[in-house]
Amino acid sequence: MRTSIATVSLSGPLTEKLTAAARAGFDGVEIFENDLLASPLTPEEIRARCADLGLSIDLYQPMRDLEAVPAEEFARGLRRARHKFELTRRLGADTVLVCSSVSPLAVDDDALAAEQLSGLADAAAEYGVRIAYEALAWGRHVNTYDHAWRIVEAAGHPALGTCLDSFHILSRGSDPKGIEDIPGEKIFFLQLADAPLLAMDVLQWSRHYRCFPGQGGFDVAGLVRHVLHTGYSGPLSLEVFNDVFRQAEAGPTAVDARRSLLLLQETVGAAALPEPVVPTGIAFAELVTPDTEPVAALLTALGFTRTARHRGKPVDLWQQGEARILVNTGPAVRRAGAGLAAIGLESPDPAGAARRAEALLAPVLPRRRAVGDAQLDAVAAPDGTELFFCATDRPGHPDWRADFEPTGHGPAATAATAATAAIGVRRIDHLALTQPWHQFDEAALFHRSVLGLRAQESVDVADPYGLLRSRAVTNDDDTVRIALTVGAAPTDDTVRAQHIALATDDVVAAARRFRAAGGRPLPVPGNYYDDLAARFDLPDEELDTYRELGILYDRDAHGVFRHCYTHTVGRVFFELLQRDGGYRGYGAQNAPVRLAAQHTARHLTGG
């Protein structure tokens, strides 16, 4: 199927929008009136620019307040409409959108609406143009798709059809099944948008909060199935009014938009993509740092051992249990201080995982082709984090560890010195990544669709300087957990820290050994423990232990969660945690205390 996007969905001047849409692979665009008015290009120049870019102009939009009005008003509207039909012709487009009237002059008279729309369609036909009539969710008298269709049907004019818009239909809770009663050839256009499920005024919801299919809470795919059932053969076109997208760069937004349509097509069986290959574990986390020492000291205190060194690059492998951390001092210049740059994901089919990612427009990274390097498939996530698809220890696949020269120190050396004693870390429990402000919803969709992970509910977390939002994506058995976090505003630099959470079987022992090895835990205020005593009936000595070690506590319906944090190096810190009884969360209840403590620590160190 052809894909299209309304220019209002992207930021910038019209020419930038067109370029972004074409680069992302769209077949066509809807030209939004205000974008055209503000463009220095003539309609003919816009037409030529689109042709150069390989884009068709599928729709000119919107016209409004034309039907079911007094005769004199209709005459004025028809005059205005003729100007727009001529403009549409000059653009080389064949369809204009007419929204149901919101004018106080409009009357509740379907026969009059049908008659006047027929008159408009007569005029449109003179210009070789046809009219797609759409019910706005807040139309004065016509606000449901079936009502708009009844009027179109009554008019019975060949140049008059209906336009369906998933937002207008689903925001009102209309049953989209009735779409199948409309002949496909009378559906002149299909506009698609999703939205988060908000209880708010539908006009505000529509104008500010729409998002791309799959990013929100509507069953857009279900609606599209009904439309395809009618034999509709026009484009799938995105029309998304969103305050955030208005500010974001057009290029990445257009790619996100097209990815959402590819997934929608896959869901409704209109496109075949490579199957998702769900990762089965975390092979490694890679830190880049301009300065090895602070990271090495922290890893050592956490009981990691430097077990190997890359044969051709300044990269060390640190290991404890199944937790592996790469420390890369090569490309660190692009980061301010130490940062989490890459994740190795265990994949049953690394090449297949990369094929799906590529089909879904994820930037494919050049394979590492240094002498002796295993050729790892890798793509970039929306936040720039590199995702490597690994097959550690699996015969028939290149093992990334073959590129590393063992140092001779085993990861769990029983005779290790105190400074390198393992502290009981078994594996990486989860990774927490800060997302670019403009791409939080997209990040969740990316991880769901490209990696086949599940997205959990989004939670608000209070930081001293704003509300953050956080959302986890996981695989089925929770061996891969990634927490995606976003700040309250584009400028928010209070949340740039990323972290690596390490699973232990005994966090109390782990925290003690971390201290004994010279580690600096994040101090937790005493008031937190007074509150813990109020909330949970914990034995005094248990509480004293937590207080002494800075361990935080949470409980859900399934079990208990205990965790503590290290100080921050560059933009990275570590968490030691213990899950008991099937606790499922991430201690979000404790996050405000942790964030405040990190602000205090930063303030004290002048960082």
User: How far, CA to CA in Å, does 75 sit from each of 79, 114, 120, 121, 259?
Assistant: 6, 15, 10, 14, 44
Please select the residue that binds its own copies; options are 71, 72, 83, 334, rule is CB under 8 A.
Answer: 83
CA distance 206 to 195: 8
Q: Work out how close the CB of 62 gets to its own copies at its nearest, in angstroms, rounded to a whole number.
A: 13
The dihedral built from the CA positions of residue 491, 482, 192 and 210, taken in this order, carries a sign that is: negative
Q: In which region does residue 458 sit, left (phi positive, over 0), alpha (psi from -120 to 50) or beta (all else)?
A: beta
CA distance 517 to 96: 71
Q: Work out how close the CB of 166 gets to its own copies at its nearest, in angstroms, rounded to a whole number.
A: 22
Short-list 49, 9, 50, 57, CA closest to 29: 57
Of the pair 316, 575, the CB lying nearest its own copies is at 575
Q: Work out how close the CB of 253 gets to its own copies at its nearest, in angstroms, rounded to a whole number.
A: 12
Please select the residue that binds its own copies; options are 27, 30, 33, 58, rule is CB under 8 A.
Answer: 33
If binding is defined by CB under 8 A, does position 464 make contact with its own copies?
Answer: yes
Please select the residue that binds its own copies; options are 185, 493, 505, 531, rule is CB under 8 A.
Answer: 531
If binding is defined by CB under 8 A, does position 489 make contact with its own copies?
Answer: yes
The dihedral built from the CA positions of residue 587, 590, 596 and 601, taken in this order, carries a sign that is: negative
Short-list 483, 480, 481, 482, CA closest to 470: 483
Site track for its own copies across 416-435, x = CB under 8 A = --------------------
Task: Find the Cα–Cα–Cα–Cα dihedral 301, 307, 310, 311, rounded to 10°.
Answer: 140
Selected range binding its own copies among 157-165, 182-190, 195-203, 512-520, rule: CB under 8 A: 195-203
Q: In which region does residue 551 sit, left (phi positive, over 0), alpha (psi from -120 to 50) or beta (all else)?
A: beta
Distance from first CA to last CA of the chain, Å, rounded?
Answer: 53
Please select the residue that binds its own copies; options are 2, 38, 217, 330, rule is CB under 8 A.
Answer: 38
Selected range binding its own copies among 403-411, 412-420, 439-447, 588-596, rule: CB under 8 A: 588-596
The radius of gyration computed from the CA coordinates of the chain, to the nearest angstrom, equals: 29
Of the pair 36, 107, the CB lying nearest its own copies is at 36
Short-list 106, 506, 457, CA closest to 98: 106
The DSSP code sequence of 543-577 is HHHHHHHT-EEEE-SS-EEEEEEBPPBTTEEEEEE
Tokens of 577: 């945690």
Q: What is the Cβ-side half-sphere exposure of residue 602, based on CA atoms within 13 angstroms?
A: 19
Please select the residue that binds its own copies; options are 105, 413, 588, 596, rule is CB under 8 A.
Answer: 596
If binding is defined by CB under 8 A, does position 492 make contact with its own copies?
Answer: yes
CA distance 112 to 119: 10
CA distance 549 to 568: 17
Give the H or E element holding residue 286. strand 281-288
Residue 310 makes CB contacts below 8 A (sequence gap 6+) with 316, 317, 403, 404, 405
Please select the residue that binds its own copies; options are 204, 233, 375, 407, rule is CB under 8 A.
Answer: 204
Q: Work out how close the CB of 436 gets to its own copies at its nearest, in angstroms, rounded to a whole number.
A: 12
Selected range binding its own copies among 6-14, 158-166, 229-237, 472-480, rule: CB under 8 A: 6-14
Q: Work out how close the CB of 560 gets to its own copies at its nearest, in angstroms, rounded to a whole number.
A: 17
Of the pair 528, 565, the CB lying nearest its own copies is at 528
Selected range binding its own copies among 113-121, 164-172, 261-269, 599-607, rule: CB under 8 A: 599-607
If binding is defined by CB under 8 A, does position 73 make contact with its own copies?
Answer: no
Please select the residue that binds its own copies; options are 243, 405, 493, 548, rule is CB under 8 A.
Answer: 243
CA distance 473 to 475: 7
Of the pair 293, 537, the CB lying nearest its own copies is at 537
If binding is defined by CB under 8 A, does position 252 make contact with its own copies?
Answer: no
If binding is defined by CB under 8 A, does position 25 make contact with its own copies?
Answer: no
Of the pair 70, 464, the CB lying nearest its own copies is at 464
Of the pair 412, 588, the CB lying nearest its own copies is at 588
CA distance 452 to 271: 17
Selected range binding its own copies among 31-39, 52-60, 95-103, 325-333, rule: CB under 8 A: 31-39
Please select the residue that binds its own copies; options are 11, 19, 267, 566, rule is CB under 8 A.
Answer: 11
Asked if 278 and 453 touch (Cβ cutoff 8 Å), the reply is yes
If binding is defined by CB under 8 A, does position 569 make contact with its own copies?
Answer: no
* Site residues (CB under 8 A) for its own copies, limited to 509-528: 523, 525-528
If binding is defined by CB under 8 A, does position 246 make contact with its own copies?
Answer: yes
Asked if 102 and 69 touch (Cβ cutoff 8 Å), the reply is no
Of the pair 249, 349, the CB lying nearest its own copies is at 249
User: How far, CA to CA in Å, does 578 sit from each of 407, 482, 537, 549, 598?
Assistant: 30, 17, 19, 14, 21
Selected range binding its own copies among 200-208, 268-276, 398-406, 407-415, rule: CB under 8 A: 200-208
Please select the residue that binds its own copies; options are 51, 111, 200, 516, rule is CB under 8 A.
Answer: 200
CA distance 535 to 504: 25
Q: Work out how close the CB of 84 gets to its own copies at its nearest, in angstroms, rounded to a whole number.
A: 6
Residue 199 makes CB contacts below 8 A (sequence gap 6+) with none
Q: Work out how close the CB of 399 gets to its own copies at its nearest, in angstroms, rounded to a whole number.
A: 44
How many residues lie near its own copies (CB under 8 A)? 56
Please select the residue that binds its own copies; options are 156, 330, 331, 490, rule is CB under 8 A.
Answer: 490
Of the pair 82, 512, the CB lying nearest its own copies is at 82
Of the pair 44, 108, the CB lying nearest its own copies is at 44
CA distance 448 to 264: 13
Please select the residue that binds its own copies; options are 333, 371, 415, 534, rule is CB under 8 A.
Answer: 534
If binding is defined by CB under 8 A, does position 312 make contact with its own copies?
Answer: no
Strand order in the sheet with 339-346: 377-380, 386-390, 339-346, 281-288, 323-328, 315-320, 305-310, 404-406
Please select the residue that binds its own copies; options are 12, 62, 344, 424, rule is CB under 8 A.
Answer: 12
The phi and psi torsions of 571 (rounded to 5 degrees) equal: -115, 15
Please select the residue that binds its own copies; options are 180, 181, 201, 544, rule is CB under 8 A.
Answer: 201
Q: Work out how close the CB of 69 gets to its own copies at its nearest, in angstroms, rounded to a whole number.
A: 16
Instruction: Point out which residues bind its own copies (CB under 8 A).
Output: 11-13, 33-34, 36-43, 79-80, 83-84, 87, 198-201, 204, 208, 243, 246-247, 462, 464-467, 488-492, 523, 525-528, 530-531, 533-535, 537, 592-593, 595-597, 599-600, 603
